[in-house]
Amino acid sequence: MSDQTPVFQIQRVYLKEASLEQPNSPAILLEQEQPAVDIQLGVEATPVAEGVFEVCVTATVQTKIKDKTVFLVEAKQAGIFEIRNVPEEQMGQIMGIACPQIVYPYLRGNVADIVQRGGFPPVHLSEINFQAMYEQQQMEAASAANGSLPQ
């Protein structure tokens, strides 16, 4: 019976990728105007081995003054998770909600650190409701599969 006990373990959390670009420095740094900030987030899950998955949360933070980029940060935080003996219908929720909730705080800290090391005030990514994000993606996927647009 213990063979079928559900397993959910964090094997490792790591910064997979990070970059900071300041294409218009130093001139843009002399601007007095407040930059506009655009933040994009993404989640992806990939099988690594039998019962082992890598879940990545990606953040892209771009700040601009008018049409010129002040800085662009792209960071991908990943986690390796062992997930076994879990019903198939729960796997999407585990990899789309539970795993990103574990990885995301590390991503938030790394993005704030990278921005600060670039000479700017840290950008603190807001808390994310991964359940709402997952449910929205599921609804969009269902609408696309039905050939209709969300109302």
Per-residue pLDDT, 143: 86
Q: Please, which residues bridge with residue 20 across strands?
A: 73
Domain residue ranges of the chain, discontinuous segments joined by +: 2-145
What's the pLDDT tens digit per position in 82-121? 999 999 999 999 999 999 999 999 999 999 999 999 998 8
Mean pLDDT of the chain: 92
Token pair of 82, please? Answer: 């062992």
Beta-carbon-side half-sphere exposure of residue 122 (alpha carbons within 13 Å): 12
Quick one: CATH architecture of 2-145?
A: Roll (3.10)
pLDDT over 70 at 151, yes or no: no
- Is residue 112 within 8 Å of residue 122, measured between CB atoms? yes
- Strand ordering across the sheet containing 7-21: 7-21, 68-84, 52-65, 36-49
- Tens digit of each residue's pLDDT (9 = 90 or more) over 61-88: 999 999 999 999 999 999 999 999 999 9
In this predicted structure, what is the pLDDT of residue 137? 86
Single pTM value for the model: 0.87
